[in-house]
Amino acid sequence: YRGPKERDDVLLPFLSAGLDAGQTCFAAVNDPDPARLRGYAEQEVPGKLILRTSDEPIFDPDSFNVESIIAFWEKTVTDELAEDGVDFVRLSAEATWWLTQVPAIDDLMRYEGRLKDFASRHPQAILCLYDIEALGSGVVFAAMKLHPRIWLSGLVLDNPFYELTP
């Protein structure tokens, strides 16, 4: 996507489907005040939205550790699935939100590679968001290789560039 409007055009349907189904949705965006998302979070829906902004980082580059980030997601998802009536969780985070919390792009890619192991452990969907304007096409293409499915022009597709790693 390109910019906050396109991000929200991608993210809102993903969140809406989960919230309307009574699921917990976690969205982390690199925006101090994502007005459209906050407005949506204030609506009466059966599900729950946990929203983190660029003013609310979870980690810092000096203490970056992939296992700590995976442990954070593990706790977040496990806690939400333990809530009465929650049987599925949706996670989403902008790569640019993570960039303030990881030392370098290579660390972000290492984290993304480990995330797919975590993804298979719980009933969940994960939407990784990449702003091509902020990150550049090289980073976005490298990240694409780590994701089995991609969203392209409004369609979810099996990713022909996906590289299986041991």
Which pLDDT band, with edges at 50, 70 and 90, does 160 fall under? confident
pLDDT at 166 exceeding the cut of 60: no
Q: What's the CA angle centered on 90, arms 137 and 45, to 5 degrees?
A: 125
pLDDT at 56 exceeding the cut of 60: yes
CA 104/CA 100 separation, integer angstroms:
9
Q: What is the pTM (predicted TM-score) of this model?
A: 0.86
Q: What pLDDT sits at residue 165?
A: 55
Q: What pLDDT sits at residue 145?
A: 87
Q: What pLDDT sits at residue 80?
A: 94
Dump pLDDT digits (tens) for 119-136.
Answer: 889 999 999 999 988 888
CA 49/CA 124 separation, integer angstroms:
14
CA distance readout (Å), 58 to 22, 33, 69, 100, 111: 25, 17, 9, 10, 14
